[in-house]
Structure 1
Amino acid sequence: MGGAGSGNRWRTGARRKCEDLLDLRISDLSKGGLLSPGRRGNLEWTVGGRPFRSIDIFTREDSLELTYRRLGPAQEWQRVLEVIALDSADQYFGGERRWFICPCCDRRCAVLYAGEEFRCRLCLNLAYRSQSEDHRYRCLSRARKLRQRLGGAAANTPLQLLDKPTGMHWRTYNTLYEKGVALEQATLRAFSEIALKLNAVSR
């Protein structure tokens, strides 16, 4: 049976999804201290807990050097050295925020995706998976994410059974809780409308 976004995956010309490609996030590099000039490091992606792909990173004053392997035309492994320019912008409350500069379009971006080379979402013509979901499933997906953010061990844990996560402010908790309730109600209304239409057709 079809689920969220079912059918779109196999359509001719369907756009690839961001979630299907490995991503390189400026926030992850910042948290790992890899944006300081002179730093060397390694990022590794895993699938099912096992190493899947990795890249070596060397940071210069205004760029990153990425070294990794990819399959060539003859299915042979090739070593690639790719340089990604960096930019920075002052924050309103002080400090600065770093950005990648996409090598293809020179646009500032916070995330690059591993296509043939690392490029921004627009240059790779990627879509978000949520864009192929209809309104019902989009609300359902957002409600599940909010439940998990509020500490739900499973995506379908009822909101009313969740306590405030340790360290979260009550104001934040109440805001997220109210959003979650609104999304759940919108999802129930949407599915109820479908059920009523199907019932009317079957009569």
Structure 2
Amino acid sequence: MKAEHLCSVDVREWARRGYLRGAGGFSWSWHRGEEPAGSIRVSVHGPAALTLAYTFGAGNDKRNVAERVNVVCTPCAYGGSRQWFACPRCARRVAVLYLRGGYFGCRLCKRVAYSSQSEDDLDRLWRRQHKIERRLDDHWQRPKGMRQQTYDRLFAELLECEERREGAFAMLAARLMGWR
């Protein structure tokens, strides 16, 4: 299963929003486009633990789950601290927990991969080209305020990316046609 398609909770975002300070609770929900994909109720038990309460399943197979997740703090180099989830399955220190199979766990325990891990050369080149194109204006024009040197470098990377993609496509086509 791909990480981008699963409901997940990120301790960094919750800490940034101040949800993990003190005791109390909050609700968290996910959406796929405009459609709601799920929600949970989070109870904060001081700085070291949370309870994630949610329902999963459909019809007569609905189950209510209350899962305890420990929060671990590590000191930062220049002061302060960083919060992490302790995976409920293996106790590894992680920033993100994924909901799969009705329970939360880390990427390793839940056997979750990123979409980019299954990309071939063509997909990687397309993704790289789109990333460069997002930095440029329409029709690959230099955006206002961008240095000419930066634009020249990006434009050269874009041309190289297109050339490499065409070469990879030609190799794929030759392989599919049985040419050598």
CA distance in 2, matches of 1:119, 1:151: 39
2:158 matched to which residue of 1? 184
Write 1 or 2 for the structure with the bigger share of helix: 2
Give the equivalent residue in structure 1 for 2:94: 109
1:185 to 1:108, Cα distance in 2 relative to 1, 3 A: farther
> 1:68: which partner in 2?
54
Shifted more, 31-40 versus 106-115: the winner is 31-40
Q: Rg bigger for which structure?
A: 2
Per-residue CA shift, 1:67-102, capped at 9, x if unaligned? 110117x74222111100100111112111000000
Greater strand percent: which structure? 2
Change (3 A) 1:134 1:57: same
The number of residues matched between the two structures is 171
Unaligned runs of 5+ in 1: 1-15
Separation in 2 of the partners of 1:30 and 1:179? 38
Residues 1:133 and 2:133 are matched in the alignment: no
Q: Secondary structure at the match of 1:192?
A: helix
Q: Unmatched 5+ residue regions in structure 2?
A: none
Matches within 5 A, 1:1-80: 16-61=1-46, 62-71=48-57, 75-80=60-65
> Please, what TM-score do these two structures have when normalized by structure 2?
0.79
Give the match's secondary structure for 2:130: helix
1:69 and 1:78 in contact (8 A); partners too: yes
Q: What do you get for the CA RMSD once the two structures are aligned?
A: 3.0
- The C-alpha deviation readout for 1:138-183, integer Å capped at 9, x for no partner, is 23224434654x487xxxx555444469xxxx9xxx5xx7886576
Aligned residues with identical type, % of pairs: 27
TM-score by structure 1 length?
0.71
